[in-house]
């Protein structure tokens, strides 16, 4: 566990925090999949009778499933970022270094966003370019 960007003690602390975030994300994804995405429209509505569902109920259930799918997608993207940060700590040893300019990411930023891979200056430049 060598880290060039941060000390070994800091790396251990961030690894632990990232693991907590990862476990929480995995739990949330599993919950969303179990409760929203793996149910049929009838199961989601709680109606297991042979009666037809009203079109508004079907539309509402479809919206709920689509919304849950969007949440799962966002959570999976965040999970990839967390895994990427953990990989930097575990194998690459460059956690805490900006992927763009190579400078150290401020500890204040890493405390707020432990999976950050860009320093604040490079992140601002990236967001400015995305807005254009």
Per-residue pLDDT reduced to its tens digit, 48-71? 555 556 677 667 777 777 887 888
The Cα–Cα gap between 79 and 132 comes to: 27
Residue 104 lies in a domain: no
Residue 117 lies in a domain: no
Q: Which H, E and C letters describe 33-80, residue by residue?
A: HHHHHCCCHHHHHCCCCCCCCCHHHHHHHHHHHHHHHHHHHHHHHHHH
Residue 26: the pLDDT is 96
Centre a 10 Å sphere on the Cβ of residue 98 and count the other Cβ atoms it contains.
21
Residue 52 lies in a domain: yes
Per-residue pLDDT reduced to its tens digit, 89-131? 998 889 999 999 999 999 999 999 999 999 999 999 999 999 9
Closest to 45 in 3D by CA, of 28, 31, 32, 64: 64
The Cα–Cα gap between 21 and 15 comes to: 10
Long-range (24+ apart) CB contacts under 8 A made by 6-14 are: 6/95, 6/96, 6/104, 6/107, 6/110, 10/96, 10/107, 11/89, 11/95, 11/96, 14/85, 14/89, 14/95, 14/96, 14/110, 14/114
Residue 72 lies in a domain: yes
Q: Model-level pTM?
A: 0.75
Residue 43: the pLDDT is 53
Residue 20 lies in a domain: yes
Residue 88 lies in a domain: yes
| Domain limits for position 24 | 8-95
Residue 111 lies in a domain: no
Number of domains in the chain: 1
């Amino acid at each position: 566990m060598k880290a060039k960007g941060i000390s070994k003690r800091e790396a251990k602390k961030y690894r632990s925090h990232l693991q907590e975030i990862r476990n929480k994300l995995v739990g949330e994804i599993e919950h969303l999949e179990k409760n929203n995405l793996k149910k049929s429209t009838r199961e989601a509505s709680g109606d297991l009778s042979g009666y037809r569902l009203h079109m508004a109920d079907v539309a509402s259930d479809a919206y709920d499933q689509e919304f849950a799918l969007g949440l799962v997608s966002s959570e999976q993207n965040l999970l990839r970022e967390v895994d990427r940060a953990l990989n930097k700590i575990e194998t690459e040893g460059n956690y805490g270094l900006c992927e763009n300019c190579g400078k150290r990411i401020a500890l204040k930023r890493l405390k707020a966003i432990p999976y950050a891979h860009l320093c604040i200056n490079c992140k601002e430049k990236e967001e400015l370019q995305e807005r254009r």
